[in-house]
Amino acid sequence: MIKTPLCDLLGIEYPIFQGGMAWISDGKLAAAVSNGGGLGIISAMNADAAHLKQEIDIARSLTDKPFGVNIMLMSPFADQVAQLAAEERVAVVTTGAGNPGKYMALWREAGVRVIPVVASVSMAKLVARAGAAAVIAEGGESGGHVGDLTTMVLVPQVCDAVDLPVLAAGGIGDGRGIAAAFQLGAVGVQVGTRFLVAEECGVHPNYKQKVLKANDIATMVTGKRLGHPVRQIKNPFAREYQKAEYSTMSDEELEKLGSGALYRAAVLGDEKTGDFLAGQIAGMVDREQPAAEIIREMFAQAEAVLKEADKWVR
Ligand code: TUI
C-alpha cells in the first residue's frame, strides 16, 4: 500500500489528482476519480459560475468523497467562479495559468485548501507565503498551457524551495512515473491525459481515439508568440496555427484563429479545426478503462517499482 502525507491531508486513499481539463473535466469524471480513491477535479474553465454550480451539484449527487475545482486564472469569469468555490466550500481549489494571490484569503477563510499549479520555483515560493496547502509542480511534458521547465528538473527544485507537500504533474502516465516523481521528492501526482480516456470521461470519442493512437512525438507546442504556450496533438489546426504564428498575421487575428478550438475538439470532435490538448505521455496510453481501474493499476505498478528501488544499491 502507498500512503503519503497528501492522503492524510485530504482524506483520500491514493495520492493522485485528476487534472482540471477545460471542456473535459466535469462533475461526472471528477466523481468517478474520487470514488476510485483519488481526488477528482472539476474544471471551471472559461465558463460562468452557473455552469460550475451545475457540475458541483452533479459531482455531489454521484459521490460523498472529497473533490476539487480547478480555476483557470486567465478566464474572464475567474472572479465569479472563485467566489462560488468559496461559497460551496469545495474541499480543494487548484489554480492554473497565473498567480492566485488575490483569491487566497477568500478561499482560506472558507476552509478551502488551495493547491496552485506552478511552473517555476518563484511562483511556488509566492503561493507558499500566501498560504497554499500544497503545490502542484507541472512540467512542460503536460498537455495544455505549459511552462518552460521539465518535470524532472522542476519537481526537485520546488521540493527544496518550499516546506509543503508537492505533487508532480506533466509526463506521468503509469506507475513508473509515480515512482519517479516520489524519488524526486513529490508526495503525490496529478494526471490529466490518462484520465482523458477513462470510461467515465465524456469527451468526444474522436478525442479519445487521437490520444489512443498518439505516439511519443505526436504532440507539439504552439502559442509562444502570444505568451501562453499550449501543448496539443499535431493535426491540421496545430500546424496551421504554428504557420500563422511565424507569419505577419496580427496578434488579434492569431487570437481569433485559436478561439473555440478546444470546444471544437472536445465537444464536436472536429479533427481538422479542433485543438486536441494532450501531454507527451499520450504515446503510452493505449486503453480505455474505468477511472478506478486506472488508479489501482498505476499504484500497483508504482508499489512494485518502489519495492525494487534499491536493486542497484551495493
Ligand atoms: O493551466 C494549465 N493548463 C491549461 S489552462 C488551459 S486553457 C488555455 N487555453 C488557451 C490558452 C491558454 C490557456 C489549458 N491548459 N496548467 C497549469 C499551469 N499553470 N501550467 C503552467 C502554469 C503557470 C504558468 C505561469 C502557473 C503560473 C504562472 O505564473 C505566471 C505569472 O507569473 O503570473
**Burial degree of 106 (CB within 10 A; 0-12, 13-18, 19+):** middle
**Residue (of 284, 145, 288, 142) closest to 207 by Cα position:** 288
Q: Tens of pLDDT along 232-244? A: 999 999 999 999 9
Give residue 142's pLDDT: 98
- Give the integer Cα–Cα distance in Å for 195 and 14: 15
Nearest CA to ligand 1 atom 29: 98
Residue 144 CA to ligand 1 centre (angstroms): 8
The CA distance from 233 to 170, in Å, is 15
Distance, in Å, from the CA atom of 110 to the CA atom of 122, rounded to the nearest integer, reads: 26
Which of 122, 126, 145 has most ligand 1 atoms within 8 Å of CB, for mutation? 145
CA of 179 to the centre of ligand 1 (A): 25
**Closest ligand 1 atom number to CA of residue 45:** 7
Domain at 5-202+285-307: CATH code: 3.20.20.70
CB contact at 8 A, 55 and 27: yes
Task: Specify the residue with its C-alpha closest to ligand 1, atom 3.
Answer: 145
- Which residues are CB-contacts of 61 (< 8 A; sequence separation ≥ 6)? none
Domain with CATH 3.20.20.70 in the chain: 5-202+285-307
Distance from the CA of 310 to the center of ligand 1, in angstroms?
37
Element housing 138 (H / E): strand 135-138
Q: Count the neighbouring beta carbons within 10 Å of the beta carbon of residue 255.
A: 11
Tens digit of pLDDT for each residue in 95-104?
A: 999 999 999 9
**pLDDT at res. 9:** 98
CB 211 within 8 A of CB 233: yes
The alpha carbon of 303 and the centre of ligand 1 are apart by a number of angstroms equal to 31
Q: Is the pTM of this model over 0.95?
A: yes
Q: Where does ligand 1 bind, in terms of residues with CB under 6 Å?
A: 22, 72, 74, 96-99, 117-119, 123, 138, 144-147, 228, 230, 277
DSSP state for residue 60 in the 8-state scheme: H
- pLDDT tens-digit profile of 46-86? 999 999 999 999 999 999 999 999 999 999 999 999 999 99
